[in-house]
Amino acid sequence: MEGWIKLNRKLISHWIWENDRYFKAWIYCLFRANFTDNKVLIGSELNELKVGEFITSINHFARDTGLSEQGVRTFWKLLENDQMINKQSTSKSTKITVCNYKHYQYRQQTNNAQTNKQTTNKQQTNNNSKEYKELIIMFNNITGRNFKGAEKSKKQFNARLKEGFSLDDFRLAITNCFNDEYHRNNPKYLTPEFITRSEKLQQYMNIKVKSNKSKW
C-alpha cells in the first residue's frame, strides 16, 4: 500500500480519538479508501469502486486492525450511526464508503497542490528578479551607463529566460552591441529595453565585431 492521506485537526476533538483501537481502525479505513475510481476483482466478480470506497470483510477487517469480529460489527455500527460510513454487505464481502472522503482528502490535496504551485511560481519570480538585477549590473559594467531597470525590460528579460536564453547570452549580445560601430556612434539606442527584445538579442548574439577599446 503506497501514498498518503490528510488528517483534519478536528479529529483530536472527535469521540474516535478517545479509543485507541477505534482510532487505529478509522485510520485503517482512510488508508484503504480509494483516492480515485477503480475496479477490483473479488473472486470471479469485477467490482467498481468510487472515491472513498473499499472492499473488505469482517474477518479481514478484524485481522488487519486487531479488533474482534464482534468489535468490528460494533465499530461499523458506531460509524454508521455517526454518518461517517455507509456499509453494503453481501454473503462474500462488505463495501465500506467513507462519507465526505473527497471533502477531507481530495479537496485538501488539490488545494495543497495549488499551494505548492503558487510557492514554486513565487520562487521562480524571486529568482527571475534576482537575475534581472544581475543583468542590469552587467549591462552597466559593460556599457559604462547607469540604468536602474524598468518594468518593460524586466518583462522582456523574463520572457527570454522562458525561451531558454541565459545571462551569458545577454552578456555576449550586450558586448557585441556595445562594440558595434553603429552603437558606438549612437550610444543612446543601446538600452536594457533594446537588448532584451527577442530579435535584437538573437541578432547581436550572432554577429562578430571588432573589440572597442576606446571609451565613449
Give the residue extent of every domain in the chain.
9-99, 119-205
Q: Which residues contact 123 (CB under 8 A, 6 or more apart)?
A: none
Q: What is the mean pLDDT of residues 161-178?
A: 91
Task: Choose among 153, 143, 154: nearest CA to 183.
Answer: 143
Cα dist from 166 to 22, 38, 45, 202, whole Å: 58, 46, 58, 12
Q: Can you give the pLDDT at residue 115? A: 56
Question: Which architecture, in CATH terms, is 9-99?
Answer: Orthogonal Bundle (1.10)
Q: Can you give the pLDDT at residue 211? A: 45
The partner residues of 94 in beta bridges, in order of sequence, read 56, 89
Q: Are 141 and 177 in contact, with CB atoms under 8 Å apart?
A: no
Q: Can you give the pLDDT at residue 41? A: 79
Here the cell at position 172 is 555576449
Q: Can you give the pLDDT at residue 40? A: 81
Q: Can you give the pLDDT at residue 100? A: 86
Which amino acid, 101? Y
What is the pLDDT confidence band of residue 213, given thresholds at 50, 70 and 90? Answer: very low
Q: Which residues contact 45 (CB under 8 A, 6 or more apart)?
A: none
Q: What is the mean pLDDT of residues 60-80?
A: 96
Identify the residue with better confidence: 206 or 86: 86
